[in-house]
Amino acid sequence: MTEPSGTNIEGEAPRTEPVVETDEATVTDGAELERTIGLSGGLAIGIGTMIGAGIFVFPGLAAGRAGLAAAGSFAIGAVVALLVALPASELATAMPKSGGGYYFISRGIGALAGTVVGLSLWFGLVFATAFYLVGFGYYAVDALAELGIAVGGDLVIPLALLFGAGFTVLNVTGTENAAKLQNGIVALLLSILLVFLGFGILDAVGIVGEPSPPERFFPPAVVDASYIPVLTTAALVFTSYLGFAQVATVAGEMKRPGRNLPLAMVGSVLVVGVLYVATIFVATSAFGSARLAELGETAMVEVGRHFLGSAGAFVIILGGLLATMSSANASILSTSRAIYAVSKDALIPGRASRVNLKYGTPHVALGLAGGPILVLTATGRVELLAEIASFLHLVMYGLLCVALIVLRRDEPEWYDPSFRTPGYPTVPVLGAVTSFGLIAFMQPASQVLGVVIMIAAAGWYFYYARDVTLKGAL
Amino acid sequence: MTRVLVPVAILERGAVSSGLASLLSTTDVTVLGYHVLPEQTPPDQARAQYEERAVSALEDIVEEFAAAGGDAEFRLVFTHDREKTIDRVADETGSTAYVITGTTGDVDRLLVPLAGDVAVDRILGFVTELVGDREIDVTLLLAVDDEAADEGRALLENAAERLTERGIGTATTLSSDRPFDALADALPSHDAVVVGEAAPSLTSLLLGDVEERVADATVGPVLVVRAVDSPSPSR
């Protein structure tokens, strides 16, 4: 096994040491690190991160772009996510460490790719969290309106900022374990959605409610260039699938990682994929895509009202608030782990991984997450935030598939995954091609900003840590 | 030899009283230094910062056990889940009992509450090993309804006989109060408590584990004899 070597510009070297991984703990020379997250916890992280965006924010936006075929866009996203989740699962069982995608790529491909991905993951999560918070802001305003306090759309951003700052402070000072709460919220969300879908499907097939006029599968205006809007919409809504790899950022804390990591990652993609497609189908059949598009970010509230009156609207608002909050909170936690992983490898200053003495929380990393999140939230650009988040994640997903192929072609001695990707090499090759391919269908502004962030990350590597070698070092 | 696990919140001034160290001098001891982290903090990240301090504190505690004539080793664990860590390390070290540390001087009197649903054999075996040939008196306590008093008295006498055979000064108390009240009444006149780990029940779900409630009611150490086969609720 190669050791990581070299130092960064401040003379810090990557901190690594031999460890023994068991199902229940990581055993180092002097201490043990307990694995405490079970399968349900892993699924809650995956589903809890994803479900906020896809169901509660995107339906209106997606319907405006792709019409009834928006369901197809979500299906494409699910297929891409699944093609990546399988290789990611294999890598995670071979390297059950905190840091997830960053760790696999830095060890499989090298420090340059690792730095680009590690910093992109940080920013990708920051963009995603800002997007969730803006979504939360829309739901908060709707909730106030439902309570008879009409505040108008001007309060969306201030409310999002308020809660974003609140989350950051809570994460620094809060020592209560919220994991059980997160599991409960996810279970509640899934039940809300299943009831909603039950009514919706009965309505869509005409058993209850008034018959709705059939709609053409592609919106009339774009029927000639039919597949393009479906793909650009898929690129936009892919943000709804950014949660499964976040499971890998806590890989070092998962019990029985060989079993639980693949189940949690693949399982959460399958669960949300099916829910998304069904929800979009129900929403577009209830209202038609044009009306849905007019309703914007909180279109689902009106869909809920359509099926179940004000109780339905209330339940969807509650779901939207909980879902966007749980997405934001789970992402902030992943961000601090992503920052820790790059800082441990000396790619950014070691100070970033300091732990606060009073609360025992990583306050520097949380600040490095929360600060930029607030700045981005202030822009309020839902679609741009979502696409850049997707862009940065898709780069990681593509490289993750590449890392799997590199590792498989010349398996190092330590490479011993307990889960092996079925359909190798087709699945990782398709995963890489579709991940990079989806980027091509984004808005030019997102593409440019995404590339700028990656170039900046590469520049940082050459300035700060060019002597650090990580390839092949477990 | 019997092994006892002594979990200590190592970075929160967790300490072992001199009385406990000498009480455990007849058994092997594993000191489990743990540090519970909020979920925002990866255990590895905390280790990087705290390991040195924790190890030095643990070495001090192990020395105290050695000074009291015992044989102790230590493990250090960073965790999000204290119960899971205690269970795992107790399993791995084959510990018969674990301790909820409290403060006490020299232990002269042990309180051993018995109940129908915990393994009396295991508890008595442990008490015998623990006391050895030292001058430590034991009070066996049983709380039963009046109808079951005869049965209870037989159980108590039988148990007391087993301890007396081994040269341990044994008293018995049969109470008709509710078990927990009977225990609370007896606590002040004893230095430490040995209880059996009870199977999870509705009461333990509502009020917390019996052993935790005992620990809350006394300042002295509570030695919890682990159930062998019954799964504990935290697993």
Separation between Cα atoms, residue A253 and residue A36, nearest integer Å: 6
Chosen domain end from B40, B70, B100: B100
User: Longest Cα pair distance anywhere in chain A, in angstroms?
Assistant: 71
Closest Cα in chain A, distance from residue B81 (Å)? 6
**In 3D, which of A338, A337, A304 has the Cα closest to residue A320?**
A304
Q: Give the residue with greater pLDDT, B199 vs B86.
A: B86
Residue B218 lies in a domain: yes
Question: Mean pLDDT, consecutive 10-residue segments, chain A of 474 residues?
Answer: 75 82 88 93 91 85 86 94 96 89 91 93 92 93 86 85 90 73 89 88 68 49 63 92 89 92 96 92 84 86 87 90 89 86 91 85 90 92 92 95 93 90 94 96 94 96 90 72
Residue B206 has a pLDDT of 65
Let me know: does A51 contact A279? Beta carbons within 8 Å.
no
Give the number of other Cβ atoms within 10 Å of residue A473's Cβ: 18
SS3 A316: helix
A34 at interface of B, judged by CB pairs closer than 8 A: yes
Per the structure, the count of domains in chain B is 2
C-alpha closest to that of A170 among A361, A351, A364 = A361
Name the residue facing B80 among A36, A337, A353 (closest C-beta): A36
Which residues 6+ apart lie within 8 Å of B180 measured at CB? B210, B213
Domain identity same for B116 and B210: yes
Residues B70 and B159 in one domain: no
Among chain B residues, the shortest Cα distance to A99 is held by: B42
- Verify that B56 and B123 share a domain, yes or no: no
Residue A320: which of A160, A126, A124 has the closest Cα? A160
Residue A324 touches partner B, C-beta closer than 8 Å: no
* Together in a domain, B147 and B86: no
Distance CA A53, CA A50 (A): 6
Q: What local confidence, expressed as pLDDT, does residue B143 receive?
A: 86
Residues 338-357, chain A: which have Cβ within 8 Å of B?
Answer: 340, 344, 353-355
How do the residues of chain B divide into helix, strand and coil, expressed in percent and rounded to 5?
A: 45, 25, 30
For residues B116 and B207, membership in a common domain is answered with: yes
CA A236, A239, A240, A242 dihedral sign is: positive
Q: Which residues of A116-127 are buried (b: 16+ CB within 10 A; e: fewer)?
A: bbbbbbbbbbbb
Side chain identity at residue B226, one-letter code: R
Q: Are residues B81 and B125 in the same domain?
A: no
- Taking one residue from A and the other from B, the number of pairs with CB-CB distance under 8 angstroms is 95
Same domain, yes or no, for B120 and B191?
yes
**Is B232 a member of any domain?**
no
Residue B234, domain member (yes or no): no
User: Hey, how many other C-beta atoms are within 10 angstroms of the C-beta on A347?
Assistant: 26
| E-strand stretches of A201-254 | none
Residues in chain B closer than 8 A to A26 (CB atoms): 43-44
CA dist A26 to A1, A36, B73, Å? Answer: 18, 11, 19
Per cent of chain B over pLDDT 90 is: 46
CA quadruple A253, A255, A258, A261: dihedral sign: negative
Which CATH number belongs to the domain containing residue B138 in this structure? Answer: 3.40.50.620
Question: What pLDDT sits at residue B234?
Answer: 42
pLDDT given for residue B199 in this prediction: 66
Same domain for B219 and B131? yes
**Cα distance between residue A238 and residue A284, in whole Å:** 19
- State the burial class of residue A67 (Cβ atoms within 10 Å of its Cβ: 0-12, 13-18, 19+): buried
Q: Taking a C-beta distance cutoff of 8 angstroms, is the pair B64, B21 a contact?
A: yes
User: Nearest by CB to B44, which of A33, A37, A171?
Assistant: A33
Burial A382-407 (b: 16+ CB within 10 A, else e): bbbbbbbbbbbbbbbbbbbbbbbbbb
- Residue A157 contacts residue A291 (beta carbons within 8 Å): no
Distance separating alpha carbons of residues A298 and A139, to the nearest angstrom: 7
Cα distances (angstroms) measured from residue A284 to each of A72, A146, A302, B8: 12, 23, 12, 58
Determine contact, residues B218/B102, Cβ cutoff 8 Å.
yes
Would you call B13 helix, strand, or coil by DSSP?
A: coil
Give yes or no for residue B230 having a pLDDT over 50.
no
Dist. CA B183–CA B112, nearest whole Å: 9
Spatial separation of the C-alpha atoms in residues A403 and A124, rounded to whole Å: 19
**Is B216 within 8 Å of B134 (Cβ atoms)?**
no
Tokens found for residue A9:
């510009």
Using the predicted structure, report yes or no on whether residue B4 has a pLDDT greater than 70. yes
pLDDT bracket for residue B232 (50, 70, 90):
very low
Mutate to test the interface with A, among B13, B32, B36, B40 (most CBs of A within 10 A): B40
Quick check: A21 and A418 in contact, CB under 8 A? Answer: no
Domain of residue B31: give its range: 3-100
Does B231 reside within a domain? no
CA distance A14 to A5: 7
Identify the helix (H) or strand (E) that includes residue B193. Answer: strand B192-196
Does residue B217 share a domain with residue B137? yes
Say whether pLDDT at B200 is over 70: no
Contacts of residue B184, defined as CB under 8 A and 6 or more positions apart, other chains included, come to B217
Which residue, A261, A175, A121, is CA-closest to B41? A175
Contact A344 B84 (CB under 8 A): no
The answer to whether the CB of A470 falls within 8 A of the CB of A345 is yes
The residues near B188 (Cβ < 8 Å, ≥ 6 apart) are: none
Please state the ipTM of this predicted complex. 0.85
- Phi and psi angles of residue A218, each rounded to the nearest 5 degrees, phi first: -110, 140
Residue A341's nearest CA partner among A105, A19, A26, A6 is A105
Residues B190 and B217 in one domain: yes
Residue B120's pLDDT band, with cuts at 50, 70 and 90, is confident
- Residues 6+ positions from A455 with CB-CB distance below 8 Å: none
Q: Is residue B217 part of a domain?
A: yes
Residues of B with CB under 8 A from a CB of A: 35, 37-51, 54-55, 75-81, 84-85, 88
In angstroms, the CA A156 to CA A144 distance is: 11
Distance CA A305, CA A452 (A): 43
Question: With contact defined as beta carbons under 8 Å apart, do A136 and A380 qualify?
Answer: no
Q: Which of B50, B55, B85 sits opposite A34 (nearest CB)?
A: B85
Among B41, B55, B77, beta carbon nearest to A360 = B41
Q: How far is A168 from chain B (nearest CA, A)?
A: 11
Facing residue for A15 by CB, picked from B46, B48, B50: B48
Which residues have a Cβ under 8 Å from the Cβ of A185 and sit 6 or more positions away? Answer: A48, A322, A326
B142 & B186 share domain: yes
In a domain, residue B235? The reply is no
Domain boundary among B76, B100, B124: B100
Architecture of domain A20-464: Up-down Bundle (1.20)
At A453, the amino acid letter reads: I
Q: How far is B57 from chain A (nearest CA, A)?
A: 13
Within-domain flag for B143: yes
In chain A, what are the domain boundaries?
A: 20-464
Which of A452, A449, A437 has the alpha carbon at shortest distance from A234? A437
CB atoms A333 and B85 under 8 Å: no
pLDDT band per the 50, 70, 90 thresholds, residue B25: very high
Q: Which of A33, A175, A333 sits opposite B78 (nearest CB)?
A: A33
Q: Which residue has the higher pLDDT, B204 or A61?
A: A61
Decide if A34 and B75 are in contact by the 8 Å CB cutoff.
Answer: no
> A133, A164 in Cβ contact below 8 A?
yes
pLDDT of residue A152: 74
Contact B175, B142 (CB under 8 A): yes
Residues 150-179 (A) with a CB less than 8 A from some CB of B: 171-172, 174-179
Higher pLDDT, A223 or B225: B225
Query: Is A27 an interface residue toward B (CB < 8 Å)?
Result: no
Tokens read off for A196: 């909603």
Among the candidates B50, B70, B100, a domain finishes at B100
Structure confidence at residue B146 (pLDDT) = 80
Judging contacts by C-beta atoms under 8 Å, the chain B residues touching residue A179 are 39, 80
Are both B92 and B118 inside the same structural domain? no
The full length of chain A comes to 474
Asked whether residue B229 carries a pLDDT value surpassing 60, the answer given is no
